[in-house]
């Protein structure tokens, strides 16, 4: 009987059931402000939510998307592969996957959620993200 009660409590409480948030699939493209592609090889976008609902004992995970050579992305992952982003606004920062630290492809402020000037909203997908060229690359 105790085991049955524990199993019932676990299923009601959501233990092991996954994320308490709902997600929206997104896609888009990132380029410089002039429309030219960002020479990267491998950029990863990090989406940090600004509008996640407050859920007791839950902390929203950031979403990530890999960018192809043309600057396009079509698969964002927050909790499970390809699930998308939590609905609402997100700060977008850029991570340089596999690039040497000396390879400057975007200004430094785009590398952190605290300083990036880029914000997107899931209701505006597909995203058209424009970033400034780093000084010296104009």
**Count of the separate structural domains present in the chain:** 1
- Within a domain: 136: no
pLDDT tens digits, one per residue of 99-128: 555 467 889 999 999 999 999 999 999 999
Which is it for strands 72-73 and 76-77: parallel, antiparallel or unpaired? unpaired
- Within a domain: 5: no
Select from 55, 53, 62, 56 the least CA-distant residue to 120. 62
- Within a domain: 16: no
Burial of 44 (0-12, 13-18, 19+ CB in 10 A): middle
Q: Which domain holds residue 91?
A: 21-131
Cut 0.85: pTM above it: no
């Amino acid at each position: 009987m105790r085991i049955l009660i524990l199993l019932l409590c676990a299923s009601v409480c959501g233990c092991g059931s996954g994320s308490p948030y709902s997600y929206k699939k997104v896609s888009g493209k990132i380029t410089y402000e002039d429309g030219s592609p960002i020479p990267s090889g491998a950029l990863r976008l990090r989406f940090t939510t600004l509008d996640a609902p407050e859920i007791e004992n839950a902390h929203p995970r950031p979403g990530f998307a890999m960018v192809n050579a043309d600057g396009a992305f079509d698969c964002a992952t927050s909790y499970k592969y390809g699930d998308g982003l939590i609905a609402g606004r997100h700060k977008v920062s850029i991570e340089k996957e596999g690039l040497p630290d000396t390879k400057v492809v975007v200004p430094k402020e785009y590398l952190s959620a605290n300083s990036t000037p880029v914000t997107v909203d899931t209701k505006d997908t597909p995203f058209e993200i424009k970033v400034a060229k780093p000084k010296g690359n104009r």
